[in-house]
Amino acid sequence: MAFGLACFGLAAVMVGLVGCGTGDRSSICRSHDTLRAAVRTMDSARSAVAANDDAAVGRLMDEVDRLLRAARRAVSSGNPDAATASAARAMLEAANYLGYMTGQFRSTGSIDFSLTQFASRELNRAASGAGGAPLNC
- DSSP assignment of the chain, as one string? -HHHHHHHHHHHHHHHHHHHHTSPPPHHHHHHHHHHHHHHHHHHHHHHHHTT-HHHHHHHHHHHHHHHHHHHHHHHHT---TTTHHHHHHHHHHHHHHHHHHHHHHHHS---GGGHHHHHHHHHHHHTTTTS-----
pLDDT digits (tens, 9 = 90+) for 13-70: 343 333 344 345 688 899 999 999 999 999 999 999 999 999 999 999 999 999 999 9
Q: How many residues does the chain have?
A: 137
* pTM metric for this prediction: 0.78
How confident is the model at residue 22, as a pLDDT?
39
pLDDT range class, residue 84, cuts 50, 70, 90: confident
CA distance 129 to 93: 14
Distance CA 106, CA 109 (A): 6
Domains and CATH numbers, the chain: 27-127 (1.20.120.660)
